[in-house]
Amino acid sequence: MSAAQWRKAMNAGAAAQGWPRQRRAASAPAGAARAEAPAPYADQDAPRWLKWIWERVAARHVFVLAFVLVYPLVATPFFTFQIGAQSLALGLIALSLTFLSGYGGMISLAQMTVAGIAGYMVAILGVSGTAEISLGWPWWVVVPLAIAIATVCGTLIGWLSVRTEGIYTIMITLAIGVAFHYLALQNYSVFNGFQGLQKVYAPTVLGVNWGEPLPFYFLALACALGGYFLVQYLVRTPFGIALQGVRDNPRRMNALGFNVTAHRVAAYAVAGFIAAVGGVLFVWYNSLITPGSIGTSWLINILIIAVLGGMRHPIGPFLGAIVFVLLQNFAIDVFARERFNLVIGGVFLAIVLFSPDGLLGLWAAFRARFANADARSRISPPRPSGRT
């Protein structure tokens, strides 16, 4: 990659790849510098936060936000809980992989393992059906502790796997994930073996039972939005920009004086935190955790969700999760119920073969077909996670 290409990649990466308004915002160095530059707005006296919102919020953002807020009020509890909340929880776990892979260039299959560790910690430290194992601590100790432990584990997994690159990372994280699955399967004193831990319910706080469909949906939505904006914010910080530089060319970043390993491990820590929050939600959603829920098929399902949606933008994993959950619940009615793997495997194969950027890639291609030549020039951002 030439120097010019690389600079372009850095700038494009900073703008979260190809969304017009955001690119305009990020091309200015910083907020302070922008204030001196001639602003493109007629009303110069508007407060800065209003301009900030005006720059970033488009009609589709308002539309999506309104939709996710109104959706549970009109949908049946089944759609709110099984489809909506599950998509949000799975999307959050897949978001951690999108962050790692789309912005850090590292594909880790162990993100579900991190989520599973958080789920197991919630079950072991909190209340579950197996009283001999669960410690029964209150939720406000359990949840932060579970997230902290899982984040530490995610960081350790990252520390091990950043020694490798590209496809090696996939293999090592897969091996780690499967090893933890077998550990949970074979160990009865802590993980309760094959049965896992049942009856892990969301707590009742402030008089609201957060396990009910509607409160749980909003809890998941709040976490998902938090994760989404965390990633959106992080990829513009100096850390996020440097991380994308590491993705595109680690040797150059090293030569520029950046600590490549530290950036990668930090990315794993952030991803571990996001996955841990998703894991806590997912264990409450299922109200149980078993070795099966961190088995190979789930490790790969998270990859499927992330790839299905597209790894260019943090909205991708949520799109992928919606498609995945819908397929899981409805597409199998067309075929036999137990042929779900065939359907999801086939869809995944089709996406990987024909649209490597997932649904977001399809959307970009769709827009390019109907938009003018200006839009055409934006839809070819640098490949994420490609080796240089």
Asked if 151 and 159 touch (Cβ cutoff 8 Å), the reply is no
Q: Which stretch binds other proteins (CB under 8 A): 24-32, 242-250, 271-279, 296-304?
A: 296-304
> Among residues 224 and 302, whose Cβ is nearest to other proteins?
302
d(Cα 354, Cα 97) in Å, to the nearest integer? 21
Q: Which stretch binds other proteins (CB under 8 A): 45-53, 122-130, 318-326, 348-356?
A: 348-356
Binding flag, residue 194, other proteins (CB under 8 A): no
Binding flag, residue 226, other proteins (CB under 8 A): no
* DSSP for residue 256: T
CA distances from 180 to 69, 90, 133, 135, 153 (A): 37, 20, 18, 22, 11
Asked if 209 and 202 touch (Cβ cutoff 8 Å), the reply is yes
Q: Which stretch binds other proteins (CB under 8 A): 56-64, 87-95, 168-176, 223-231?
A: 168-176
Q: State phi, psi for 259 to the nearest 5 degrees.
A: -85, 100
Joined together, the tokens standing for residue 234 give: 């992080």
Kindly state the number of chain residues that form the binding site for other proteins, as judged by CB under 8 A. 40
> Among residues 114 and 223, whose Cβ is nearest to other proteins?
114
Count of CB atoms situated within 10 Å of the CB of 378? 18
Minimum distance of other proteins from residue 248's CB (angstroms): 14
* DSSP for residue 383: P
Please give the distance of CA 209 from its chain centroid, rounded to a whole number.
26
Binding flag, residue 20, other proteins (CB under 8 A): no
Q: Out of 186, 209, 377, 380, name the contact with other proteins by CB under 8 A.
A: 186
Q: Out of 171, 222, 256, 326, name the contact with other proteins by CB under 8 A.
A: 171
Quote helix, strand, coil % in the chain, to nearest 5: 70, 0, 25
Chain positions contacting other proteins, by CB under 8 A: 107, 160, 163-164, 166-168, 170-172, 174-176, 178-179, 182-183, 186-189, 296-297, 300, 303, 307, 339, 341-342, 344-346, 348-349, 352-353, 356, 385-387
